[in-house]
Amino acid sequence: MHHAMQRSRLLRVPFALALICLLAGAVSPAAWPAPKVRRVSIIVTGGVVVTVDADRRILSPGAIAIDGKTIVAVDRPEIIAASFRAAETLDASGTVVMPGLVNTHTHAPMVMYRGLADDLALMDWLQKYIFPAEAKTVSPEFVRTGAGLAALEMIGSGTTTYADMYYFEEEIARVTRKAGLRGVLGETIIGFPSPDAKTPSEGLARNEAFIKEFIRDELITPAVGPHSMYTLDREGLQSSRRLADRYEVPLLIHVAETRDEMKTSRERHHMTPFAYLDSIGFLGPRVVAAHAVWVGDDEIPSLVRTSTGISHNPESNMKLASGTAPVPKFLSAGLAVGLGTDGAASNNDLDMFEAMRQAAFLHKLQSGDPTVVGAASAVEMATIGGARVLGLEKVIGSLEPGKRADLILVSMTGARQTPMYNPVSHLVYVSKGPDVRTTIVNGRVLMRNRRMLSLDEAAVLAEARKMAERVRRAVR
C-alpha cells in the first residue's frame, strides 16, 4: 500500500502535463504517455460479477483486482487490464463471481455425526445418539479432525466466513487459520459439565483465554458462546454478556428455536425467550441470535431497539420440525438477518446454496406469496446480511474496493445452468455447493478449479473416516 501511494504521488506531474497537452490539442490521445499500471497479486476476470454492493451492481462481464488481502478495484475487464498487472490471473469466464458466503451459525466438528441418526423426535435423537456420542468422542483431536473436514466442505461449497459454537474452540481456530477461512468462533458456555469445562465459570475462563489468544488474528474473530437461555441461568448469561462487552466481541447464542424452549421460558420466567434475555440486559448489537423461530410480532421492536442480529437456519428448522422464523417481518423491520446451516448433525451438510434456496422456498410457502424472499434477498442474507450480523460489514460481504478479498467463482456452464437469463436467480434456484470452482479468502486462493490448496484433502478425509469408527462404537 505504501509503495502504491508513493507511486501515485510521483505520477501527478506527467498526468498534469498530458492533460495540458490534450486541452491545447497539441497531441492526439494515441500519443499520450501510457498510464502506469499498478502491480497487484491477483486479477479475476471474465465472469459475471455480482457485487452485492450498495447499488447491487452486476458487471457482465466484470473483473476484480486484488492486492494482498484487499480488493483494489471492481470494474469492466478492459479497464482492469489497462490499470493493473497481476502476478496471477484467474479466468472466470463461464462463472458468476460473488462475495464468499457467510454461514452465521454452525457447529463445525459435528460433521463427524452427520447422518448418524435422522428422522427421530428431538429428545430421542439427542439422548440416544448425539449426547452419548459427544460424551464418548469429543476431545481436542476429535474437534481438530471434524473442523478440518468441515473446512474442506465449506471451502468446497463457497463459504468463506463461518460463525461457530462448539467445544475446544481454540483447536477449531487453529484449523480454521490453517485452512485459510475466516471464522467468528465462540467457546460454548453451558450449564452442565461439557467436554471442555465442568462449569459455566470454567467455560467462561476458557473463553476469556481463547479471546486473548486470538483477538489480534487476521482471520479469527473470537466470540463468546453462551448456549441458550434454557441451559444457562441468569448469572451465566450475564457473565457471558460482560465478557463479550469487555473485549468487544460477538455473543453467539441459540434463541427461541423450539416450542419446548418457549414452554420452558414461560414456565420459569413467565416470558418468551427473547423477552427474558431483554429483561436481563443480554440483547444488543453484538448478539447473534440463532434460529429466532418462536418470535411474536410484538417482540420485533425490542430486537430493533437492541440491534440484535438474527441467524436464520431454514434447513435445520425444517428437518427438526422446529417451525418457521418470521424472516419477512425481520427484514421489513430492518433487522440484520443472515443465513446459517446449523451443524451437519441436523441438516446434514454445510452448503449455503441450499440455505439460500430453502430460505426463498420456505417463506414463499408459509406466506402464500411467491414474491416474498426473492433471489436477491436470499443472496443478500447469505453475504452482506450475514456480514452485518457478525459485525463484519465493513470488512466482507460485498465486492468493493477496500474490502477484504473473500470471493467465489460459481460455474454456470452445465446443463442445469443453461440458459442463464439472470445470474442472481441461478445463484439461488439452481446452484449447488459443488458448482463452486474457486474460493478466495483474504486474497489467498484456497481452492482453484476444485483443487484444495490450503488443506491436504486426502489426509483430512482419511482421518475423518478413522475417527468415525470411534463414533460408531460410541452409539452401538
What is the rounded CA–CA span in Å between residue 308 and residue 289? 7
Kindly give the pairing relationship between strand 337-339 and strand 407-411. unpaired
> Is residue 61 a contact point for its own copies (CB under 8 A)?
no
Q: Judge contact between 463 and 145, C-beta under 8 A.
A: yes
Kindly tell me which residue out of 100, 156, 183, 391 binds its own copies, with binding defined by CB under 8 A.
Answer: 156
Measured in degrees and rounded to the nearest 5, phi and psi for residue 303 equal -70, -35
Stretch of 246-254, 260-268, 304-312, 356-364 contacting its own copies, by CB under 8 A: 356-364
Interface with its own copies: number of residues (CB under 8 A)? 70
Taking the complex as a whole, how short is the minimal distance between the CB of residue 475 and its own copies, in angstroms?
9
Which residue, 175 or 211, is less far from its own copies as judged by CB? 175
Which residue, 152 or 249, is less far from its own copies as judged by CB? 152
> Is residue 80 a contact point for its own copies (CB under 8 A)?
no
Residue found by looking up cell 460479477 in the block: 49
Contact track, its own copies, 209-248, x by CB under 8 A: ----------------------------------------
> Is residue 361 a contact point for its own copies (CB under 8 A)?
yes
> Is residue 420 a contact point for its own copies (CB under 8 A)?
yes
| DSSP E strand boundaries for 316-382 | 337-339
Taking the complex as a whole, how short is the minimal distance between the CB of residue 456 and its own copies, in angstroms?
12
> Is residue 307 a contact point for its own copies (CB under 8 A)?
no
Q: Judge contact between 291 and 338, C-beta under 8 A.
A: no
Nearest to 436 by CA among 396, 387, 382: 382
Nearest to 51 by CA among 41, 42, 64: 64
Residue found by looking up cell 470452482 in the block: 437
Residue found by looking up cell 452448503 in the block: 351
Kindly give the pairing relationship between strand 444-448 and strand 436-441. antiparallel
Grid coordinates given for 285: 448489537
Stretch of 41-49, 184-192, 331-339, 369-377 contacting its own copies, by CB under 8 A: 369-377
Kindly give the pairing relationship between strand 451-452 and strand 444-448. antiparallel
Residues within the interface to its own copies (CB under 8 A):
111-112, 114-116, 118-122, 125, 149, 152-153, 156-157, 259, 315, 317-321, 323-324, 347-351, 358, 360-362, 364-365, 367-372, 374-375, 413-416, 418-422, 425-426, 429-430, 432-435, 457, 460-461, 464-465, 467-468, 471-472
